[in-house]
Amino acid sequence: MSPLQSVEVHTLPPERFEAVLDGPQWELVDAASRHARDVIGERRVWNVNSTASGGGVAELLRSLLAYARGAQVDARWVVIEGEPDFFVLTKRLHHLMHGSPGDGGPLGLAERELYERVSRANADALATMLRPDDIVLLHDPQTAGMAPWLAQRDVHVAWRSHIGIDRPCAEVEAAWGFLLPYLDDVQAFVFTRRDYVPEALAERDVTIIPPSLDVFSQKNHPMTADQVASILITAGIVDGRAVAPPAFTHHDGRVSLVHGRALLDETSRLTLHDPTVVQVSRWDLLKDPLGVMLGFAEHVVPYIPGAHLLLVGPSPEGIADDPEGAVVLEQARDVWAELPADERSRIHLVSLPMTDRSENAAIVNALQRHASVVVQKSLAEGFGLTVAEAMWKRRPVVASRVGGIQDQVRDGIDGLLLEDPTDLVAFGAAVSSLLADPVRAAQLGDAAYEHVRADFLATRHLIQYLGLFGRLIDGDHHQGIQ
C-alpha cells in the first residue's frame, strides 16, 4: 500500500456567484471571503477522504475547495489508500451508519487491527506534508482512524460525517461503538443533520452544515436542448442523430466534447420523445435500484403508455472505495432479466464511463435535464445531492422522506415525498401523477429551482466552513450542537 493520493484543486473566483445571488446574499459571501483571508492567512486547509470521484463528497470537495482557493485560502485535498479488505470494512461501517446490516460482517479485534494499520499509514504519510497550525478536515468513517495520530501533531483536527440515519438503531450503535474511540482528540465535528449526531458527541463542538450545490460545475452548468440531445445520443443512451456538437463547459469556461459511451442493458431504444423517469446514484442497495425498477414496472408501466425508466450509475470499476457496486449492478441485471418482456423493454440500466470525471458529470447533467421526472427512492440517505441537482434544473422530483432529502424537498411545493420508501404502490402513483400532469410537474420544478437558489448554493456552505476554521484557529470552541 502506498498511502495518500494528492488531488489537483483548481481555483475559481467566488465572484461568479454574484450573478445568481441577490444583493444581501452576495455581501455575506464577499465579507466571509475577506475575513477568511485575514484569519486563515498562510495556513493550509487539508481535506482527507476516500475517493476523488464517484460520490457526493468528492463532488462537494472539488467545488468548495476551488472557491476556497479563489478566496485565497490554501485548500488542499488528499485521498487515502488502503487494501481491498479495508474498503470492505469501511463499506460495512457505511451501511451500519445508515441502519443497514450490510454484509453482516464483524467489527472485532481483527477489523480494528486492519483499520488502525491502514489509518496509521495514511496519517503518517500526511504528517510529512503538514506544517504547524495547519487545519485538517477528515471526512467520513474511512478517515476517522487517522485522528489520534494527527492530533499528536501541532495542527487543528476536525471530522466531518456526511452520513447518518434519522432514528438510531442497533446497527448505528455498532458503527459508533467502533468509531468513537478514534475521535476523542478531535477538536470539532461537522454533521449534515442534527439527528445524525450521536449522544456521545452531543456536548462536543458540533456544527450542522448541510451540503450544497455548485451551479457552475459540469453537472449543473446550463445546457441547450440541442446540447442535451447530442450528449445523450453520443453517449449511446438515446437513439437518434445528433444535430449539434456534444459540447459541455468546464468550471474554467473551456469547452469539451463528450466521446465516451455508456454501457446499457436494454431490449429497446429510447428516443428523445419518450416520457422518461431517471434515477442517478451509485449501485448501492440503500439507493434501492431494485425497488425503483419493480415499482416502475408494476405501477407505472400499466398506467402511462410509452414511459421509460433510466436507472443510472457509474461503471463500478471506476469507484475504488465501493467494492459492492459491481455486485448490486449484477443483482439489478438479474431482476431486470426476469421481468416480463413489455416491462423489461421500458427499463434501461445505464452504467456511465468514469475515465473522464468531467465527461461523466456532463452526461449526468444531460440526463437530469432530459428527464420528465427525477426520482431518488433511497431507503436511507445522508443528504442526496442528486435531488438538489434535479431541483436546480427545474425537474419535478419524487423522493423518499429520509435523511437530508426531507431538508431539500417541501412535499407538494417543489416535489413529492414518499412517507414509506418501500411502498411501491405509492411510488408508482406519485411518478404517474407527474407524468400525467405536465403543468403541475412544471410548477413543482419552478418552485424547486427557487428553493435551491435561496438555500443550497455552495456560497452558504463555504461561509459556514470558513467560520468553523476561524474558530479552530482562535481556539473559540463552543459546546453542544450549533
Residue 320 pLDDT greater than 70, yes or no: no
388 assigned to some structural domain: yes
50 assigned to some structural domain: yes
Cα gap 426→291, rounded to integer Å: 12
CATH number of the domain where residue 68 is located: 3.40.50.2000
219 assigned to some structural domain: no
The verdict on 289 and 384 lying in the same domain is yes
The pLDDT value recorded for residue 1 is 60
Cα gap 93→65, rounded to integer Å: 27
The pLDDT value recorded for residue 127 is 96
Cα gap 90→242, rounded to integer Å: 43
Report H helices in 137-288: 141-144, 147-150, 170-179, 225-234
Cα gap 11→219, rounded to integer Å: 18
Q: Is 49 helix (H, G, I), strand (E, B) or coil?
A: strand
The verdict on 48 and 71 lying in the same domain is yes
The verdict on 148 and 78 lying in the same domain is yes
Cα gap 473→478, rounded to integer Å: 13
% pLDDT > 90, the chain: 76
Residue 442, burial from CB neighbour count under 10 angstroms (0-12, 13-18, 19+):
middle
The verdict on 187 and 333 lying in the same domain is no
The verdict on 312 and 435 lying in the same domain is yes
Report the Cα–Cα distance between both ends of the chain, in Å, rounded.
Answer: 39
The verdict on 92 and 154 lying in the same domain is yes
Cα gap 171→118, rounded to integer Å: 23
Average of per-residue pLDDT values in the chain: 93
Assess contact for 296 and 277: CB atoms under 8 A.
yes
**pTM (2 decimals)?**
0.84
The verdict on 419 and 439 lying in the same domain is yes
Backbone angles phi, psi at 49, to 5 degrees: -145, -165
- In a 13 Å sphere around the CA of 14, the CA atoms on its Cβ side amount to 27
- DSSP code of residue 138: E
The verdict on 438 and 474 lying in the same domain is no
Which of 111-115, 163-167, 308-312 is the least confident region?
163-167
pLDDT of 340-362, one tens digit each?
Answer: 999 999 999 999 999 898 999 99
The Cα angle at residue 394 between residues 393 and 399, in degrees rounded to 5: 95
128 assigned to some structural domain: yes
User: How many domains does the chain fold into?
Assistant: 2
The verdict on 163 and 246 lying in the same domain is no
The verdict on 189 and 303 lying in the same domain is no
206 assigned to some structural domain: yes
Residue with cell 475515465: 355
Beta-carbon count within 10 A of 297 CB: 22
pLDDT of 135-170, one tens digit each?
Answer: 999 999 999 999 999 999 999 999 999 999 888 899
The verdict on 474 and 441 lying in the same domain is no
433 assigned to some structural domain: yes
259 assigned to some structural domain: yes
β-strand pairing of 156-161 with 5-6: unpaired
Cα 187 → chain centroid? 25
Cα gap 209→162, rounded to integer Å: 9
pLDDT band at 99 (very low <50, low <70, confident <90, very high): very high
Cα gap 19→15, rounded to integer Å: 8
pLDDT of 165-188, one tens digit each?
Answer: 888 899 999 999 999 999 999 999
Residue 400 pLDDT greater than 80, yes or no: yes
The pLDDT value recorded for residue 23 is 85
Assess contact for 341 and 267: CB atoms under 8 A.
yes
**All residues at 6 or more sequence positions from 108 whose CB lies less than 8 Å from its CB, including other chains:** none
Assess contact for 64 and 251: CB atoms under 8 A.
no
Residue 319 pLDDT greater than 70, yes or no: no
462 assigned to some structural domain: yes
Average of pLDDT values for 293-302? Answer: 98
**All residues at 6 or more sequence positions from 180 whose CB lies less than 8 Å from its CB, including other chains:** 198, 200, 201
Supply the range of the domain harboring residue 322. 225-455
The verdict on 411 and 301 lying in the same domain is yes
Cα gap 181→111, rounded to integer Å: 14
Cα gap 280→260, rounded to integer Å: 18
Cα gap 375→291, rounded to integer Å: 12
Residue 349: strand pairing partners: 265, 311
Cα–Cα distances in angstroms (integers) from residue 428 to residues 385, 445, 456, in the given order: 22, 19, 28
pLDDT of 10-63, one tens digit each?
Answer: 899 989 888 888 888 889 888 888 887 888 999 999 999 999 987 788 888 998
Is 480 or 104 the better-scoring residue by pLDDT?
A: 104
Residue 6: strand pairing partners: 78
Cα gap 172→181, rounded to integer Å: 15
Phi-psi group of 257: left, alpha or beta (phi > 0 → left; psi -120 to 50 → alpha; rest → beta): beta
